[in-house]
Every structure is written in structure tokens, then in C-alpha cells.
Amino acid sequence: MQPATPLPLSLIVTAAALLLPLLAFGVIMLATRSRHRLSAAISIGAAGLSLIAAVYLLVQHWQMQAPLVFQTVWLVSGQMAIPIGILLDPLSLLMLTVVATISFLVQVYSLGYMAGDPGFGRYYGCMSLFAWAMLTLTVSSSLLQLYIFWELVGLASYLLIGFWFDKFSASEAGKKAFVMTRTGDVAFLLGLVLLWLQLGTLDIPVLTDPAAVAAALSPGMITLTALLIFGGIIGKSAQFPLLTWLPDAMEGPTPVSALLHSATMVAAGVYLFSRLFGYFSLSPTAMAVCLAIGTISMLLASSMAMVARDIKQVWAFSTISQLGFMLMGLGSGSLFAGVFHLTTHAGFKALLFLCAGVLIHRFHTNDMFEIGRLGGRRLKATVVCMIVGAAALSGLPPFSGFFSKEMILGQLLASGHPTAFLAALLGAFLTTYYAFRLIFILLFPLETDDAGHADGHGAHHGAWGERAMIAVLVCLAGVTVVLGFFEMSLHDFLARGLALDEAAPAHFTWLPMVAGTLAVAAVLQAWFEFGRKKARQIGWVERIPILADLFGQRWYLDRLYRYLLDTLVYRGVSRLFTANDRRVIDGALDGLGRSTIGLGRVVDWVHGGMIQYRLMIMVAAVILLILFIGWGG
Amino acid sequence: MIVPLNHILLLSGLLFSLGMFCTLARRNLIMMLLGIEIMLNAAAVAFVGASLHWQQMEGQAIVIFILAVAATEVSIGLAAILVVYRRTDSVDPAMEAALWEKGGRP
Amino acid sequence: MAYQLAGFPFLTTLLLCCVAGLLAILCIPARHARAIKIVSAVFSGFTLIVSIYLFIAYDQQAGGFQFVERVAWIPALGIAYFNGVDGFALPMLLLTGIVFFTAVLTMWELELRVKEFFSLIFLLVTGVFGLFMSLDLFFIFVWFDVSLFPMYLLIAIWGSTRKEYGAMKLTLYLLAGSALILPAIIYLVVHSGSMTFDLLALMEGTRFTPAQQRIAFFMLYIGFGILAGVFPFHTWSPVGHVAAPTAVSMIHAGVLMKIGAFGILRVGIFLCPDGWQFWAPLMAVLATCGIVYGVFVGLSQTDLKYVIGYSSVSHMGIVGLGLSTMTIDGLNGAVFQMFAHGIMTALFFSSVGHIYDRTHTKAIAELGGLSRVMPRASSFFIIAALTGIGVPCLASFWGELAVFMSCVSVYPVAGALAIGALAVGALFMLRVVQKTCYGPPLEKFAGLKDITAALAVPRVILVSVIVLFGLFPGVLFDMIHTATMHLIGLR
């Protein structure tokens, strides 16, 4: 790879963007953890500089023609060489900017949200760790490096979910998240190693070059490795069947949920898919599996979101479902549709979570009915921002989600997946329904509490913290409103560096109409059930007990996993092996010890004090000796 | 020589077996000592016979030697038994073994 | 050549440091406990400095055995005091130096029979250092036994939880190992055609027929393998770890188990490459069993130290797997993993030891909420656990990665199983972390003090080593690589 023109500056800027958060992490954890303000300043400073660097790189390379690769070797051992490097192409630049932006905004927001927490310094340390790992992940030049930072991102997620480790549920959720994503990563690592053995390199530019790959690998091997790597994506992006960790991960602080568990970290799976899009598209099976998994996850999660009462849970389910939606877009063969939805989703989902965070911060409850009752609608700016976010999520024009969703729908239709298309329409309908269900519950509570109660709460954290939170919300809402109109320029930008095979995004003139109508219908239904004056605020799902139960119990997936874990692992293999250790191995050993002692006793008796036995043995020995000699002679 | 060597050896062998049986089977230290004496004397008989047969005097000299050893052995042995008897009120070798078991063993 | 030296005898100096420390401790009256501790720290610090110096001064370009010193001892039998180090031995010396120094510092608060404790530790470590640097089969065996014998006393006197049982089990097991090693060594020497115990001389040419190599390698593998915690012979290790006092657990799991793997490498693989090749599948099977087995058994343990003991079984399985691949990457990874695991497990035991000293319990069910009570002490524990999980940028990751990569190419099924064990391993470690460190702070631990600065020093050293080699694994890999190339080149 010959790096193109402005090598040193781009390299330095990227390296700075990556290493500053690491530095911040080190400094905070080693030195300034107990000094809260300073820690926050260091972390936000680092994130801000990273953001500036990322924006600079994006602007600088807006017209880029060929990807830039800087690579050096981290470790060499025999045949194994682990490179570390930076790959700058439109995709990674876009993702870099998205991650840096949301990171920065969320860190600013946390100033207000986390104020007064005893672990404030630790919080910012972990946030910096995450920022470092995630930024480096996005610009990784080789799959192995990506895997390494993928794991580190998981570590940051573990630490942040379990941030309030006093709570059993939080530490349990952190553990669950780590182990479930690890399960996916096992497949990922296996696929990686297989790929490395076959190909001899894991550089992303090589992997995405269809000619090189097809020459070196058999189609079966491509499918196998693609599916194994997809296992990692399933784990990280919380897709079916490894989706149950994400709702639990909401135990973490809300800004963490906004940053890690909706906008960036969970999107890393989808990002990996887009990164290796060229590779995946070589295997029709892998693409079909991706489409199927995406569809299933999207529908499952949407159904769960319809009955959730916890405001964060709703957005968590929605995240799973939107990630599934992105995978549908990618699986149907359109890189741009998936990436575009990833970008818009990052914006509006972070917005939704942060709005929820403001409400939770103010009212100290996650229950949407409770928040509505306590007067959530009086926080005007927040509620407006939330409506903007929900509209984007629902795909209502002119918000950003409308454009990206419509593109995925169009792509599904154009690539000849009518079933998936219908499922996607259904999913979009359900999404709109549950989003506006939440909004209407907040806006039109059945009964309201006294007004003074709510205001008493918010006052005690300095006003500037609150203002920072609101400012972040407004920023994100602004992005959500305008981002959709940059569709074409983003497409051109991505098309310059990547082989986008579709000439232009597929457009069906009737599609926006249908999608829009559906969305409006869903809003109307939600209004009918939850919004209008005499609504009883009981959704149609709740009137069907079987469905309500099924959805409310998350399709019993959690119970099933818990049962399997208990019976197979704890009570099964683990107990069996332990018993083997205690009984068989140690038993045999102790038996050996005891029988040695027993044998000693027997021998002991022979040459015990009884003199005549000794004599007898002597005589016997002599007789035997004589016989032996007589025989021989 | 009137008595053939074979007969003398047979007698000696018989005596030896009797002595051995006495030593091994009797539960009495004194009888064991007697058994040992009998075995020694059996050997002495064999020596005398052999000495006569080959007309060599060394055999008879050794018999004298054996008598001397037997005398010392009996005197020391009886003394030891006496000590044991005083300490244990018994001349049973099994009792002796039991005593060793109890705590005499180093 | 009766006497041969290349420059200053650093290796003997290293040994003499230990011996001098031992003598110095013996000269101090037992009532001056503090003086004894200071002397121990100083002399163990010396050994650390010498081992770091050796690591740096080794000429990686030249490779091979350096700092060679050789004095004929019993010429008639071909026994010589023959020392030398290569890229395999140096990481082990460094590991021993680090673990030794930190273990001495960890026991700063010991009060029972201080003099005897530290003198036995010094004796033990003398044997360990001797084994890692010796190139004479006879001395390897002698050092092996020197390092075993103090273990019994150290565990039986200063231990806890069924200490006599643990000490006895450990000693018997390891002696059984040494009862296999000695015949194997004699067998090799007898069949070598010349009367010499010189490892390098025995390596020259093909002295042993494949059949002989198979017999000898098997005995060596089992004999040393017992010490390395190879699967069906591992049960001494958790029991021993549980019974041993903190510093002994650290040295034991950190260094002594490495002696086993190192012995397989140095004696078995160096002398019997054909035997290695023949038994490699068996090694792979046993190692994989150990990896999978260790994590599953660890999952259902109720004693903190048992948990770590079983994690050691699993991690040493990775070393065995690396050795069984017969590839450069596998060997590199195995030796790296030996080093990383040594440091990690030392950190693990020192933090568990601290928890035990403060709370007086090792039962997982009775612990909880320690992160609130002792934030620093529990963060050491958490870091150790994360290293054990194989989080990237902490040392263990690289060893595991190299081993897995080479293993999948040679034994795909074993590799897949070992990688799969990672997920269970994560569950197993995080479960322990959750139960001990997280959760609401418990009433009964409310008055406990966090770790003192003096006691934090050894833990900080260990953590920095983990992070250092996690971020710059090349330092160690390059070193190991010189020896691996040498070995593979010989075959």
C-alpha cells in the first residue's frame, strides 16, 4: 500500500485522536481519580480534541480517492505478525466522526447527569478507555487489531454497565453482557484464525478485495469464516439469539446506555459487517443468514418494546430492532443503506436515551407511567427533543430516520426480498407504534401528581449541569433534523472510497408514500389507545394475554438461557467435573495412599516383633534357595 | 567304620529338623533356646561323622568349638530370658513382640 | 576442558545472591524480625536486578546459550557445574526474580517464625534459579529436588485449610514426578554412548533412536508434567495453593509450575525431538482437557483460592497446548504464556492473600462488597481476573493468541475447544469478581482498612509488568524467538 499525499499530518492527527483518550484514561485512573472536576476536564478535553481531529480528517479527506493506510508491526513471532495501523477511508472516517461526536456530547452531558456521584472520576476514566478503544476500533487496518479493540470495548462496557456495582442487578448485567458477547467473540476469533491460516494476512484492504479472496479461498471456507465472524457481530450487536444482554445492560448510567449501548459500541457489529462487506458479499449464504437474523431480531425486539414500561428498556429493544434493520439493509446487498442508517440511528438514538436520562435524573424512576404522572411533560425542551427523536425513529419525514429507513426498504424490494420487505414494513409500523405509545404516555398521563413535587427535585444540582444536558439534547436534535438531507453527499463521499455496487440508491416513488402512511397510521393508533382524552392506556397487545405475556417475558429467551446455564453448565458439566475431580481422581489418589499404608501394615506384620515369624521366613528363604540351587545344578 | 556315613547324616538331619521345629513352633523362649542347642548338636554330629569318614581331625576340632559356642550361647541366652521374665512375667515370644509394639520400638 | 568461563559469572552470582541471603538470614537472631525482612528484601532485590541485567545484556543477534560457565565436578561420571541461558531461560529467570521479590514484600506483615520462613523461601528459590540456568542433567535433577523439599515445610507450618493434607499430597505428587525424571535421565545418559550429563553434548547429532526417545520423553513428560499441572495429575495444585501461605502460593503457582513446563521443554523437547513428535497428540489432548476441565471445575468452587488454583490448571493447559503444536508460534506463545501466567497468578494470589488476611475468610459466599471497603486492594484483584480472562493489552492475551493461532492450524478441534473455553473462563472469573468485590458493602467488613502503601508496592510492580508486556509483548517475544529458532533449526 502506497500512502497517498498528506501522510505525516493525517497520521499525526489520527494518532493524536486515538491516543489522547488513552492518555486521559491513564492519568485519571492513576492520579486524578479522586479529584472529580479535574478528571472530567481531562476526559472531556481529550474527547473534544479527538472530535476536532476527527472533523479535521473528515474535511481534509472529503474528496479522497483512495484509502490511506499506515501500518506498523506490533508483534512478530514466527509466521504470526500482528500489525497495528490506521486505515482511513470514507467508512472509517464517517464512523470516527460519529463516535467522536457522540462521545464528546455524552461526556458533556454526563457533567450534569453524574454530578455528585462518588465514582465520578472513575466514570470519566472508563469513558476515556471506551473512547480510546472505540476510536481505534473504527480505524483498525487489520481484522486482528479490530478484534483486540473489540474486546477492549467489551471491557469498557463491562466496567460501565457495572458502574454502580453495589447493585446486584448491575454487576449481574455487566457479567452477562461480557459473557454473552464473549460467546459471540469465540466464534469471531475462530473465524479470524481460520481466515488467517488460509489467507496469511488479516489486512482489511486485502479481505475486501473480492479477487484476492476468491483466489485464495474455496467458497465453502468463505462461507464458514464469514458465518463465524458473523457470530461475533451477533454477540456485539445483540442480535438473535444473543440479544438478551442488551436490555439488562440498561442497568448502567443512562449516558453510558446512550453512548455504548445504542449509538456506538453495539453498532460496532454492524460496522464490522460494513467493513468486511466485500468479503461477506462473496458468500450468498452468509448474506442470507445476515438478512434472516436481522429480520428476526428486528421483529422480536419490536414486539418486546410494545409492552415494556421501563423507558430505557423501550429504547434498548428499539436499539436491537434498529440494528437488525441495519443488518437487513446490509444483508440485502446495500452497503450504503446500512451505513446511512447506522449514522442517523447513532444520532437519534443517543438523543432518545439522553432525553430519557433527563427524565430519569429528574424524577428518579424509569417507569414511563410514573414519569408521566409526576409531570414529565413540563420539561418542555426535553419532551420536544424526545418527540423529534421518536419521529426520526419512526421514519416520519423530514427527520433523518425517514431517509435511511426508506432507503433500506427500497433496497429490500429492489434486491428481491419481498418477505423481508413486508417484515420490515411491519417492523416499521410496530416501531412507530411503540415510540409514540411512550410519547403519549408521557404527554397525557391518566392522573397527574401535584406540580410542586417534581420541581423540588431538579433544583439541587447546579443549574449549569442541567443546562449542559439540555444543550447536548438540542445539538443532537438539530443533527437529527438536518442529517437526512445530506443523504446524497454522504453517498458520494462513501462511493469515492468504497466499491458501492449500486449506481444510486434504489428509489421507488410510491415507497415514501406507503411508509409515511403506515407511520402516520401507527401514530394514530398509538394516539387512539394512549393519547386521546378517554383512552384507557391499554395497548392492543395487552388485551391479548398470551401475547402480552410472551412479549413481556421477552419470548422466554432469558428464562431459557438461565435454565440451560443452570442445568447444563452449573448443575451439569461443572458439577460432573468437580465430582470427577473429588471422587475419581482424588479418590483414586487417596485410595492409592490408603492402600500403600495398608500394604505397609501387612509388611509390618511380617517383620514385627514376633521373632519366630522372622525365623520362619528365614528358613523358608533358605529352603527356597537350596531348592533353586539344586534345580539349577 | 561300623556306622555308614549316610546313617549319621540322616540322624543329624532328623535332629536338626526336630530342633528347628522346636525353635519355630514352641511359644516358650527356653524351649526355643533348647531347639537351637539341638540344631547346633545336630551339626556337631554331622561334623563328627564326616571327620571319621574322611579321617580328618579338623571336624572334631570344630565340634569342640561348637560346644564352647553352645555353652556361651546358653549362658547368655538364659540370662537374657531371665531378664525378660523378670520384666514381663512371661517367657512367651509373642508377648515380647507385643511389648515392642507398645512403645519399645524406636 | 575442566574450566570454562565467558566473562563475569553472572549466573553464579545470581545463585550466590540467594545463598548469601540465606546465610545472612541464618546469622540474624530470630528476634530481629524486621531486620530479617529487610535483608530478605535486599537480597531478593539483588536477584531481581541481576535477572533484569541478564535479560537486557543478552545478545539477541547472536542467540544460543550465553553467560556460559562450566566447571567439571565429577569428571568420571561426566557431571559438571554447567550453567548457561538462552531465550527460554531468561524470561523464566526474570519471572522468578519478579515473583521472588514481590513475594518477599508481600509477606511484610508475617509474624510467625519469620526467620525460618524466609530462609526456606531463599532455599526454594535457589533451587528454582538453579534449574532454570543449569545445562547439566544431573544438576537439573538436583535443583528440581532442592526446590521441592522446602515446599513441604512451608505449607505444613505456615499454611491454612487442611495444610498437612495439602503439603503431603503436593510432596508425594512431586516426588512421584521426580521418581520418573531420574530414571529417564539415567536412561538417556546410559544410552547416549558416552558418559556425560552435559545437555548440550547430548543434543549433538542423533544419539538416541526414536524408540528410546519415545520412552524417555514419555517419562519426562509425565514427570515434569505433574509439576506443570497436566490434566489428570493436577489435583495437587489447587489443594496445595489453598493450603499454602500467600508468598508460597505466589512462588508455587507463579514459578514452580513453570519449572514443570520448562523441564518438558529443556530436557524432553531438547533431547527427544522424535519423542516429542510422537507424543504431541497426547499432549494436545491432555492440555485441551486441562483447559476445558479447569474452567468448568473452577465454576463451582466455593473457596477463592480453589478458584484460582483451577484457573492455573486451565492456563497451564494453554502452555501445554502451545508446546504440543511443534510450531514456532506455539512455542513462543507457550513460553510467553508461562511468563504471563506466572505474573498474573502471583498478582492473583497476593490479592487473595490480602483479602484473606483482612477478612479471615476465603469462602466466596461470605465475601462481598469489597470494592467499597477496600477499593485499591480489590482493583488489584479485578485486574488479575481480567488478565486471566485474556483481555487484550494485558500480558496473557498475547500468549493465548499465539497458542490458539498455531493450535488451530495443527489441531483444529483442540483449538476450537480451547477458544470456546474462553467464554466459560470469562463467566468463571467474572462470577468470582462479582461475588467478592461487587455488591453492597457488608456490615462485618465495615471497619477494614484498605491496603497499606508498603503492601501495595509488590502488587503495583506486578500490575505494571502485566501492562508493560501487554502493551509491548515484542520485548519478550523477540527474546523467546531467538531460542525457538535455535531449537527448530536444530531439528
pLDDT single digits (tens) C352-366: 888 888 888 888 888
Contact A77 C404 (CB under 8 A): no
**Are residues C297 and C275 in contact, defined by beta-carbon separation less than 8 angstroms?**
no
pLDDT at residue C1, as a whole number: 40
**C432 → chain A, closest CA residue:** A175
**Cβ-Cβ contacts under 8 Å for A310 (sequence gap 6 or more):** A250, A366, A367, A368
CB contact under 8 Å between C439 and A194, yes or no, is: no
For residue B81, the chain A residues in CB contact (below 8 A) are: none
Asked if B97 lies within 8 A of A619 by C-beta distance, the reply is no
Which structural domain range is residue B44 located in? 5-104
Provide the pLDDT confidence category of residue C7 given band limits of 50, 70 and 90.
confident
All residues of chain B having their beta carbon less than 8 Å from the beta carbon of residue A608 are 97, 100-101
Chain A CB contacts of B95 under 8 Å are none
Q: At CA C345, angle to CA C342 and CA C347, rounded to 5? A: 110
How many other CB atoms are found less than 10 A from the CB of residue C71?
Answer: 14
For chain C, positions 180-239, list CB contacts with chain A under 8 A.
232, 235
Return the closest-CA partner of residue A40 out of A128, A102, A131.
A128
Identify which has the larger pLDDT, A606 or C86.
C86
User: Residue B105's pLDDT is what?
Assistant: 41
Predicted local distance difference test score (pLDDT) of residue C314: 92
- What pLDDT shows up at residue A3? 46
* pLDDT tens readout for residues A352-369: 999 999 888 888 888 888
Calpha distance A160→A251 (Å, rounded): 9
Cβ contact (<8 Å) for A609 and B23?
no
B92 → chain A, closest CA residue: A610
Q: CB under 8 Å to B7, separation ≥6 — which residues?
A: none
Closest CA to A330 of A342, A343, A317, A345: A342
* B72: CATH: 1.10.287.3510
Give the Cα separation of A127 and A44 in Å (integer). Answer: 9
- Alpha-carbon distance of B103 to B99, in angstroms, equals 7
The C residues from 280 to 319 touching A (CB cutoff 8 Å) are 293, 296-297, 299-301
Question: Which pLDDT band holds residue B68 (cuts at 50, 70, 90)?
Answer: very high
Contact assignment for A575 to C416 by CB distance below 8 Å: no
Separation in Å, CA of B2 to nearest CA in chain A: 30
B57: amino acid identity, one letter: M
**What single DSSP character describes residue C112?**
S
The single-letter code of the amino acid at B88 is: T
Residue A129: helix, strand or coil by DSSP? Answer: helix
Residues in chain A with CB shorter than 8 Å from the CB of C416 are: 190
pLDDT at C36 over 80: yes
The three three-digit cell numbers of residue C271, written as one number:
533431547
Res. B106 pLDDT band, cuts 50 70 90: very low
Interface test with A, best of C393, C407, C450 (most A CBs within 10 A): C393
Residue contacts between A and B (CB atoms, under 8 Å) = 28
Residues 390-409 of C with CB under 8 A from A: 391-393, 397-398, 401-402, 404-406, 408-409
Tell me the C-alpha to C-alpha distance, in Å, between residue A129 and each of A43, A122, B65, C79. Answer: 10, 10, 100, 56
C206 has pLDDT over 70: no
Distances (CA, A) of A381 to A365, A465, A553, C165, C262: 19, 15, 34, 70, 67
Contacts of A51 (CB under 8 A, 6+ apart): A97, A100, A101, A103, A104
Q: Which stretch of A72-81, A318-327, C98-107, C117-126 has the lowest confidence by average pLDDT?
A: A72-81
Q: Is A618 on the interface with B (CB under 8 A)?
A: no
Asked if B31 is an interface residue toward chain A (Cβ–Cβ < 8 A), one would say no
What was the pLDDT predicted at A2?
Answer: 46
Residue C336 and residue C402 in contact, taking contact as beta carbons nearer than 8 Å: yes
Per the structure, the count of domains in chain B is: 1
Which subunits have 3 or more CB–CB pairs within 8 Å of chain C? A
Option in B24, B96, B101 nearest A619 (CB): B24
pLDDT tens for each residue of C387-410 = 999 888 888 999 999 999 899 889
Check if A626 contacts B (Cβ < 8 Å).
no
Interchain proximity A574–C296, CB inside 8 Å: yes
Q: How far is B23 from chain A (nearest CA, A)?
A: 7
- Other Cβ atoms within 10 Å of C330 Cβ, number: 28
| Residue A7: per-residue pLDDT | 57
Query: Which subunits count as partners of chain B given 3+ CB pairs below 8 Å?
Result: A
What are the chain C neighbours of A170 within 8 Å (beta carbons)?
Answer: 438
Determine the average pLDDT of the residues in B42-56.
91
Query: Which residues in chain B have Cβ-Cβ distances shorter than 8 Å to A619?
Result: 20, 24
Half-sphere exposure of A424 (CA within 13 A, CB side): 33
**Is A218 buried (19+), middle (13-18) or exposed (0-12) by CB count in 10 A?**
exposed
A572 touches chain B (CB under 8 A): no
Alpha helices in A503-556 (DSSP H): 510-526, 545-552
Residue corresponding to grid cell 521345629: B21
Query: What's the half-sphere exposure (Cβ side, CA atoms, 13 Å) at C209?
Result: 4
d(CA C426, CA C435): 14
Please list, in sequence order, all residues whose beta carbon lies within 8 angstroms of the beta carbon of residue A536, skipping any fewer than 6 positions away. A529
Q: For residues A268 and A232, what is the distance between their CA atoms, to the nearest angstrom? A: 10
The answer to whether B92 contacts chain A (CB < 8 Å) is no
- For residue B98, the chain A residue with the least C-alpha distance is A609
| Alpha carbons C195 and C209: distance in angstroms, whole number | 17
Report the first-to-last Cα separation within chain C, whole angstroms: 27
Task: Categorize the per-residue pLDDT at C455 as very low, low, confident or very high, splitting at 50, 70 and 90.
Answer: confident
Please report the number of interchain residue pairs, chain A to chain C, with beta-carbon separation below 8 angstroms. 134
The answer to whether the Cβ–Cβ distance between C419 and A186 falls below 8 Å is yes
Spell out, as residue ranges, where chain A has pLDDT lower than 50. 1-4, 452-460, 503
Asked if C424 and A569 come within 8 Å (Cβ–Cβ), the reply is yes
Return the minimum-mean-pLDDT range out of A157-161, A173-177, B36-40, C299-303.
C299-303
Q: Which three cell numbers stand for residue C128?
A: 528454582
What is the tens place of the pLDDT at every residue in A9-25? 888 888 888 889 999 99
Q: Measured between alpha carbons, how far is A422 from A328 in angstroms, rounded to an integer?
A: 12
Interface residue A73 vs chain B (CB under 8 A): no
State the cell numbers at C37. Answer: 525482612
> What are the pLDDT digits (tens) for A502-537?
545 556 778 888 888 888 888 888 888 887 777 777
Cell numbers that stand for A65 in this block? 480517492
**Contact between A608 and B100 using a beta-carbon 8 Å cutoff:** yes
Q: Give pLDDT, residue A10.
A: 82
pLDDT at C103 over 50: yes
Measure the CA–CA gap between C331 and C322, rounded to whole angstroms.
Answer: 6
Question: What pLDDT is recorded for position B104?
Answer: 46
Minimal CA separation from A148 to chain C, in Å: 6
C-alpha Rg value of chain A to the nearest Å: 31
